[in-house]
Structure 1
Amino acid sequence: MFRLVLQTLAQRTSGFVGAFVALFGASVLITAFGIILQSGIGDGVPVQRYADAAVVVGGEKSFSVREGDSTRTTSLDDAVGVSADLVAKAARAGGAAGAVGVLRFPAEVVDGDGRLVRGADDHRSVGVNWASAALGPFDREGRAPERAGEVALEKSVAERAGVGPGDTVRIASTRPAGDYRVVGVVAYTGGGGALRTPPVFFAEGDARALYGRGDRVSAIGVLAAEGTDAERLADRVGDALDGARVELYTSDGRSSVENPDVASARGSLKELAGSLGGTVVLITMMVVGSTLALNIHQRRRELALLRAMGATPKQIHKMIAGEALVIALIASVLGCVPGVLAAGVMRGALSVIGVLPEDFSFSYGPLPMIAAVFTGVVAAQAAAFAVARRVVAIRPVEALSESHTEEPRLGRVRVFVGVLLLVLGLAASLLPLFFGSVFAAAGAGSGGLIMVIAILVLAPPVVGRMTRVLARPFQRRFGNLGYLAVANTRADSRRLAAGIGPLVLAIGFASVQLFIPTTTSRAAEQQAAQGVVADYTLIGAAGGLPVDVPEHVRDLPGVAAAAGTVRVDLFASRKLLDSPEVFDYQAQGLSPGGLDQVVDLDVQRGDLGALSPGTVALSTGAASTLGADLGDPVRLHLPDGATVTPKVVAVYARGLGFGDVTLPHETVLRHSSRHMYDSVLVRLAEGADRDEVAGALASLDERYPGTEVLDEGGLSSAQRRTAVAGLVGSALPLVLVFGYIAVAVANTLVMTTLARGREFAMLRLVGATRKQVMRMMRTETGMLVLIAVVVGTLVPLLPLTTVSFGLTESPVPYIPPFMYLGIVAATSALAAGAVLVPTKLALRSRPVEVIGLRE
């Protein structure tokens, strides 16, 4: 049997090219996304400042919620600290030569022109305590900072600032900028290139004051005694810290604690791979399945003859499975290499838009490639089993007669599956009309994709009905050629459906994946613009604005109110069906100071002025999702993993523009890695001179270097830039998926067109010219594209409408016209090229030669 398989593949190479291309593309796609996922689990950058620490102790990077017998564990992305009391315990672990508590906070040198000075490769500096210098390979010139007002600078920062030991520098940090005396310069002597975070070393007292948390440290570095293995030391440190909410890192894992931005990037990669991974596998299996089915459909006469000659169903199954196995193995293995290249291109693109640090390295282990080959083989075998099952279900004599004609109806199982998927998709798409929660929006998006898949399953009858609708208009417009094109599509609806299916998938998938984010982003932008009632917005370049800025601004003449805002990501949880469900939200912390004068969150119930420690305000969507109302406690999991149950004091409508959870600023700052405000909103007093106040605010740059004054649209403009970056970051990985779908579209259409060589020859032998055949094919292509565009647009329109209504109370989603037209134009051009170019090539052959060729 295997010899027959190889002979079939060798003699019908052209017939298997389509399946090979589909499996090759699937391997590229799955390898690339596997590398993205693996890189999110890996380290990303080498360890530098903690290179001499054998073990680094960081805060626990996850939290668990338990309800009954069910437990849900969720990862945290914030750089949470650990209790300062653990430093002494870690130092007493067996094999430890000492332990150092690291204090990390924003700190940048200011030059004589008021500009912030960066280190080598334009890296921003970070403030740390001098004791942490023991954890890295540093050479020192001068002495260590021992008294208040003394610092030691990293060499590249000192050189760019033009200072050395004995000079005075101005440093912007978590407090108003102050002057410090440089007593030393340190040079990094380790590997990994220039320091990612060149340190500004402070004396212990100054570092503790600027860090702002007396009971915590950012991390603990444990030094190993001579001859002590790092892994063994980690076990002993773990025993010494038994019961503490910490995680231990050795080897390359230490960079996760040293570089919080890398930890955040890894979280983004995992979220990206997780959100699209299942969809990618589903699309690849659909494409591979439809391509193999089309290949078998084109060989139906050959298979029917084998059945008539006595081939058993088992033998047919083995032959088709063997063909699929050989093609899948070859195509999947070959697709791994370009998959690696595609992942590298994606890494560069994500770095350009700011999702990944420029020096973040992807992990190129063998697991993604193994997964790609395995998925390709499984998809091919599943498709082979399905098509072989249909082939052997027909009696041999019936198979011979059916091979010349199109089967009039779909199988009952296929119809049942298609209708079931369509009903499920419709039900999911309607959820936002009845529930104002995150479940509803997510369910509607999934419903749109399910309906697209349902249309693929039911494509032949859908295409048949659409063809009947278009028959008369096309016949009137194109005359005899239109009549012939309609007759062709009616006679071979499966062939036409095989070409339209991938086109519908391309347009529908793109619409769901792109237009739900654009609708959400547009609504957030509008809410932010409507909700900011402040006259000015202050933002800071030195890691934010110190927490005393609002108080200082309120003392300026002409200022009526000023409030600081800080944004973080957190989680909320509730019990559903006896199990815990966890939801991630963006939250804002607000400082007191006339909140109603600077922001209008469109409060529906309660009073935002009642916001104080132990309370929370929720958006209407979050309140619905969490089942909470005024006076109810909600369970929140803060960025450091702490669980709190504040009471709801207000419910507001503008959650998209300002975050779904609003907390007092003390709570956010105490339970996150944030030390400073993201922005400060300023409202003028009645009758105040606007220019005079603007000048006073601009003068804050002397006290708080890097401060920028924006007008009332400043916050929404900043959010717009962030939203655009987020949208581009989400859309970039879709390029790989769209590329694969485009390949599938071209692949399927080329296969169906090339299989019509005898049909074209017959038309020419009965008198049709090449031009007439080409005009007929252009007419068919126009019908094909029109059906695909209409169906591909209408199917996702329902979930887009309901999601828009659920999020914005408007049934009109935001669909950027040029983006939609670009999708349609690209898909149409691809379809036209994939049909007309092979047709033109096929017409070059002499009809009498082609008519005698076997199928």
Structure 2
Amino acid sequence: MFRLVLQTVRERKAGFVGAFIALLGASTLITAFGIILQSGIGDGVPVQRYADASVVISGKQSVTVHEGKKSKTKPLTDPVAVPADLVGTVAHTDGVARAVAVVSFPAQVVGADGRLVTGADDRRSIGANWSSAALGPFTLSGRGPRRAEEIVLEQSVAERAKAKLGDTVRIASTRAASPYTVVGIVKYTGAGGALRTPPVFFTDDTATTLFGRADQISAIGVLATPGTGAGQLDDRIDAALKGAGVSSHIGAGRSSAENPDVASARGTLKVLAGSLGGTVVLITMLVVGSTLALGVHQRRRELALLRAIGATPKQIHKMIAGEVLVVALAGSLLGCLPGVLAAEALRGALSVIGVLPQDFVFSYGPIPMAVAVAIGVITAQAAGFAVARRVVAIRPVEALSQAATEQPGLGRARVVFGTVLLVLGAAASLLPLFFGSVFAVAGAGSGGLIMVIAFLMLAPPLVAHATRLLAAPFRRRFGNLGYLAVANTRANARRLAAGIGPLILAIGFASLQLFIPTTTAAAANDQARAGVLADYTLTGDAGGLPTDAVADARALPGVAAVAGVVRVDLYSSVKMLGDPEVFDYQAEGLTTDGQTTDGQTTDRLTTDRLGQVLGQVLNLDVTGGDLSRLSETTAAISDGAAATLGTRVGGTVRIHLPDGQTIQPQVVATYRRGLGFGDITLSAQTLMRHSSHRLYDSILVRLQPGADHKTALAELKALSTRYPGLHVQDKGGLSAAQQRTAMVGLIGSAIPLLLIFGYIAIAVANTLVMTTLSRAREFALLRLVGATPAQVLRMMRTETLMVVLIAVAVGTLVPMLPLTMVSLGLTGSPVPSIPPLLYLAIVAATSALAAAAVLIPTRLALRARPIEAIGLRE
């Protein structure tokens, strides 16, 4: 049997090309997304500043939610601090020569022109305590800092700042810029090229003050005694710190503790792979299955003959399974290399837009390739079994007669399954009409994809009905050619549906994946624009502005109200059906000049005054409760979050902060503008205390009625002397920032989708080329009865126009229901945000691809002499 299989594949190579291309593309796609997932688990960049440490201890970068015996763990992207009192415990562990406390915080040299100085490769420097220099391969010129006003600079930073030993430079940090004397310069001598985070070293006491927390540190670096292995020491430290909520790292894993941006990027990759991985597998299964089915369908006369001369169902199954196995192994194995190249191209694209660090390295290993091959083979075998089952279901005496003509009907199971999917998809799309939670919005988006799949399964009768609708207009417009095109599509609805299906998938999938983010981004921008009442927004180049800037801005003449804003990502959880459910949210922290981030109070504002101040700079469109009651023990949440979490004003909400700590504040207000300002609003003090943020992301300033805006603007800009890198934007500053963030998010989401769209495009071209080339004998017959090549080509243009019109209409209408419902759930408006140019680009690209995939093969088929083409094998 296997010899027959190999001979069949060898003799009918052209017949298996379509399946081979589909499987090669599937392997490429799955390999690329497998590498993305594996890279999210890997390290990303080499260790540098902690290279001499045997073990590095950092906060645990995950939070676990328990409900009875069930639990769910989520990764934390913000670096988690370590309790300072653990340093002593680590220092007394056997094999530890020295335990070094590390603190890291924003700190940059201010150049002579007032701009912030970066290091090699334009890397932003960080502040650190001098003791932590022992953990890295540094050589020192000069001496270490001994007094509060002394610092040590990294060499590339010193060179760019043109600073030498003994010079005085200003440092912008978590406080207003202050002068320091350069007493030393360190040079990095380790691996990995230029330092990713060139350090500015302060005395330990000064660094602790600028870090802002005496009870916490960033990490603990451990130097081992001679003869003690890193793995052995790591086991001892784990035992000593059991239950302390920290993680220890050795080898390449130390990079995770050193580079918080890399840890965040790895989390992004895992989310990306998790959100699209299932869709990738589903689409590849659909494409591979439909391509194999089309290939076998084109061989129906050959298989019917085998059945008629006595081949048993088991033999047919074995033959098709063997053919599929050969093609699947060849295509899947060869697709692994392009998958690696695709993943690398994706890494470069994500780096360009800032989603990944420029030096982030993907992890390439055999596991993603092995998984891609396995999925390709299993999918192909499943599709082959389904096709073979249909073939052997026909009685031998009927096989040849049924093979002569195309059967118009669908199997009962396919009709039932497609109808059930259509109903389920439509029901899921309607969820936002009845529920305001994130489940409803997510369900509507998933429902759209289910409806697209349902229409693919029901494509033949759908094409037949659509052709009837187009019959009269096409006959009137194109005359005899239109009549012939309509007759062809009616008689071969199944074949035509095989070509239209991938087109519908391309348009429908692209619409769902792109227009839901554009709708969300547009709503967020509108809410941010409408909700900002402040006249000016202050931002900073150093990642934010120091907390002191709020009081300084408030003291300026003509200023009525000032509020600092912090934005972080966090989780909130709730018990549903006995299981813990954890949701990602963006939180906004608000404060005023009467409150500080270390818990101390300077002329603390009353709640009435706090509400008055916040009410002058922001309008969250409160729907219940009172925002003036916001404090360090309360929270305000959006209406959508309230619906998802099942709470209301007066209730509590369980929030997991960026450092993994859990709080349950009382809900004092609900509001509509969650997309523009974050679904959870807390005090900035709470967020800063439980995150790595030491700076405000922005500061909102409202002037008094009648104040001179020109004078106030000049005074605000003058604050850049104390806070280098400060920028003053108008009231649209927050909206502009929202637009930039949304645009980066949209591009970041769209780039990985290009791989999927590319595969769907290949599937479209592959299927249409297969269906067109299979009609070579039909074209020859038309020419033998008197049709000219030009007439055949015009007929195919007419058919192509019909195919494109049906695909565009269905591909546009199917996603419209879920898009409308998603828009209704997110914005309250049933009109989704669909950029016209983006939609036209999707339709134009898909239509052009369809036209090329039909007309080019037609021209090739028409080159053969009709008397020779009529005798070609199927």
Amino acid at match of 1:848: I
Query: In structure 1, how many angstroms separate the alpha carbons of the residues matched to 2:417 and 2:587?
Result: 42
Deviation track 1:182-233 (CA, whole Å, cap 9, x = no partner) reads 1110000100000000000000111010000111000111111111111111
CA distance in 2, matches of 1:555, 1:521: 36
Distance between the aligned counterparts of 2:662 and 2:737, measured in 1? 31
Matched position secondary structure for 1:175: coil
d(CA) in 1 for partners of 2:671 and 2:474? 54
Amino acid at match of 1:133: A
**Distance in 2 separating the partners of 1:657 and 1:691:** 28
Contact 1:104 1:127 in 2 (8 A): yes
Contact 1:5 1:319 in 2 (8 A): yes
Larger mean Cα displacement after TM superposition, 382-391 or 401-410 = 401-410
> Are residues 1:541 and 2:541 paired?
yes
**Distance in 2 of aligned mates of 1:777 and 1:48:** 63
Q: Which amino acid aligns with 1:761?
A: A
By how many angstroms is 1:408 displaced? 2.6
Could you tell me which of 731, 737, 759 is aligned with 2:756? 737
CA RMSD after TM alignment: 0.7
Tell me which of 744, 747, 758 is aligned to 1:728. Answer: 747
Opposite residue 775 of structure 2, the aligned amino acid is: R
Aligned pairs, number: 855
- Judge conservation of contact 1:92–1:240 (CA < 8 Å) in 2: no
| Secondary structure in 1 matching 2:404 | coil
Question: What is the aligned partner in structure 2 of residue 483 from structure 1?
Answer: 483
2: CA distance, partners of 1:771 / 1:304:
35
Residue equivalent to 1:699: 718
Match of 1:399 in 2: 399
Partner of 2:63: 63
Tell me the residue number matched to 2:221: 221
Q: Deviations over 1:736-758 (max 9, x none)?
A: 00000000000000000000000
> Partner residue of 2:807?
788
Q: Deviation per CA, 1:214-266, whole angstroms, max 9, x where unpaired?
A: 11000111111111111111110011112100111111111111011111111
Within 5 Å, give how 1:561-576 maps onto structure 2.
561-576=561-576
Task: Tell me, yes or no, if structure 1 residue 837 matches structure 2 residue 872.
Answer: no
Aligned to 2:25: 25
One-letter amino acid matched to 1:23: L
SS class of match (2:29): helix
Aligned partner of 2:601 in structure 1 is none
SS in structure 2 of the partner of residue 118 of structure 1 = coil
Match of 2:596 in 1: none
Alignment of 1:497-508 (within 5 A): 497-508=497-508
Higher mean Cα deviation, 224-233 or 785-794? 224-233
Structure 2 counterpart of 1:419: 419
What does residue 636 of structure 1 align with? 655
Query: How much has 1:792 moved relative to structure 2?
Result: 0.2
Paired residues for 1:316-355 under 5 Å:
316-355=316-355
Q: Deviations over 1:20-74 (max 9, x none)?
A: 0000000111111111111111111000000011111111111111112221111
What secondary structure, in the 3-state scheme, does the structure 2 residue paired with 1:650 have?
Answer: strand
- In structure 1, what is the equivalent of residue 607 of structure 2? none
2:91 matches 1:72: no
Contact 1:586–1:660 (CA under 8 A) maintained in structure 2:
yes
Mapped partners of 1:332, 1:703: distance in 2: 61
Q: Which residue of 1 aligns with 2:733?
A: 714
1:440-472 deviation per Cα after TM superposition (whole angstroms, max 9, x unaligned): 111100000000000111111111111111111
The answer (yes or no) to whether the contact 1:46–1:252 under 8 Å persists in 2 is: yes
TM-score (norm 1): 1.00
Q: Within 5 A, what are the aligned runs for 1:177-188?
A: 177-188=177-188
Q: Which residue of 2 aligns with 1:384?
A: 384
Q: 1:766 is matched with which residue?
A: 785
Contact 1:27–1:336, Cα closer than 8 Å, also in 2: yes
Match of 1:46 in 2: 46
Residue aligning to 2:704: 685
Does residue 817 of the first structure (1) align with residue 813 of the second (2)?
no
- Structure 1 residues without counterparts, runs of 5 or longer: none
Contact 1:742/1:830, CA 8 A, preserved across alignment? yes
**Amino acid in the other structure paired with 1:24:** L
Shift of 1:581: 0.5
Amino acid at match of 1:672: S
Q: How big is the shift at 1:97? A: 1.0
Normalising by the residue count of structure 2, what TM-score does the alignment of the two structures yield?
0.97
- Aligned partner letter, 2:665: P
Instruction: Report if the CA contact (8 A) 2:114-2:721 is conserved.
Output: yes
Task: Look up the match of 2:175.
Answer: 175
Shift of 1:98: 1.1
2:614 and 2:319 mapped to 1: Cα distance? Answer: 73
Task: Report matched runs for 1:164-563 at 5 Å.
Answer: 164-563=164-563
Task: Check conservation: 2:155, 2:186, Cα contact below 8 A.
Answer: yes
Q: Distance in 1 between matches of 2:85 and 2:69?
A: 34
Matching of residue 603 in structure 1 with residue 622 in structure 2: yes
The answer for the alignment partner of 2:598 in structure 1 is: none
CA distances 1:654-700 after superposition (whole Å, capped 9, x unpaired): 00000000000100000011111000000001111101110100000
User: Cα distance, 1:412 vs. partner?
Assistant: 0.9
Whether the 8 Å contact between 2:27 and 2:376 is mirrored in structure 1 is yes
Is the contact made by 2:408 and 2:493 (CA closer than 8 Å) also made in structure 1? no
Alpha-carbon distance in 2 for matches of 1:548, 1:749: 65
Separation in 2, partners of 1:463, 1:408:
11
The aligned amino acid for 1:392 is V
Distance across 2 between alignment mates of 1:101 and 1:393? 73
Inter-partner Cα distance in structure 2 for 1:41 and 1:584: 20
Map Cα deviations across residues 574-601 of structure 1 (whole Å, 9 max, x no partner): 0100111000000010003500000100
| Identical pairs, percent | 70
C-alpha distance in 1, partners of 2:501/2:543? 50
DSSP-derived class of the 1:807 partner:
helix
1:572-651 aligned at under 5 Å gives the runs: 572-592=572-592, 594-651=613-670
Q: Is the 8 A contact 2:408 2:494 kept in 1?
A: no
Amino acid at match of 1:730: S
Kindly indicate whether the alpha-carbon contact (under 8 Å) linking 2:452 and 2:505 is maintained by their aligned counterparts in 1. Answer: yes
User: Alpha-carbon deviations, 1:249-304, whole Å to 9, x = none?
Assistant: 11111111101111111111111111000000000000000000000000000001
Paired residue for 2:689?
670
Q: Secondary structure at the match of 1:117?
A: coil
What is the SS of the residue equivalent to 1:591?
strand
Kept in 1, the 8 Å contact 2:121–2:194? The answer is yes
SS in 2 for 1:787: helix
Equivalent residue number for residue 798 of structure 1? 817
Give the deviation of 1:309 after TM superposition.
Answer: 1.1
Aligned counterparts of 1:320 and 1:226: Cα–Cα separation in 2:
65
Deviation, structure 1 residue 644: 0.3
State the shift of 1:543 in Å: 2.1
The 8 Å contact of residues 562 and 598 in structure 1, kept in 2 or not, is answered as: yes
Q: Deviations over 1:751-773 (max 9, x none)?
A: 00000000000000001111111
- AA paired with 2:344? G
> For the residues of structure 2 that align with 1:329 and 1:224, how far apart are their CA atoms?
50
Asked whether the 8 Å contact 1:146–1:204 carries over to 2, the reply is no
Counterpart of 1:847 in structure 2 is 866
Measure the CA separation in 2 of the matches of 1:180 and 1:323: 75
